[in-house]
Amino acid sequence: MILCGVAALACDARVSEPNIRREMHIRAATIRIAAESQSQAMHMRSWLLASTVLVLATGCTRATPPPPAPELLKTATIKDIMDSMVDPSGDVLFESVAQISDEKGIREKFPQTDEEWENVRNHALVLLEAPNLLTMQGRKVAAHGEKSKNPEVELQPEQIQQLIDGDRPSFFKRARRLQDAATAALTAVNAKDKDALFHAIEKVDKACENCHLHYWYPNDKRAVQQAKEDGGVID
């Protein structure tokens, strides 16, 4: 009888042992899953924290406006720039290519050496960039108290100022015509093409005259008539 009881206990132990091992595996798996979930949660919290810091840092950066650029001086007047830059450079271009007729016959004048071409190029660049100075906001036409030398046909500085300030887009359009003509001259000089330079100089002359007829001497009837005969744009 005792032997039967011992055998029964041994049988129960063999039956229960797989159940215990299975339960231990289940608990171990549960603990592992819980640990992995906790690790993922920690990673998620770290990612969210890093993202929040990045967003806050970006927001702070965007909220800080850049320092204002210093305002440049505009001491020279439009007349000063015309007298010191535009007119002298225009004269160099106008005199660089020509047909000369004298007792020796008809001959052409144009740049011959690299130094001569370089000189013309430098003055073409002045004509290309001068309109950027002329059109700067706040640039005055002339110094205070300065008057026209030929009031019969020339407008006074304050009248010219009113025309410019009253329609700045048109002022920019006329300035751009000079830039386009100067660009054509620069292209011709770079190619050392005297014929192309001659035609570009004609464009420079017409661009200048168109601007002068509108702002400087619109009452000069002879100049207006000559510009029409030369095919210039008068607007």
The pLDDT tens digits of the residues spanning 18-32 come to: 555 555 555 544 545
Name the DSSP class of 83.
Answer: I
How is domain 78-229 classified at the CATH fold level?
Four Helix Bundle (Hemerythrin (Met), subunit A) (1.20.120)
pLDDT of 4 > 50? The answer is: no
- What is the residue type of 164? I
Name the DSSP class of 141.
Answer: S
57 vs 27, 46, 47, 66, 109, CA distance in Å? 45, 16, 15, 16, 67
Domain coordinates in residue numbering, the chain: 78-229
146: Cβ contacts below 8 Å, ≥ 6 apart: 79, 157
pLDDT of 198 > 60? The answer is: yes
> Who has greater pLDDT, 46 or 85?
85
- Lowest average pLDDT, out of 7-21, 27-41, 118-132, 144-158, goes to 7-21
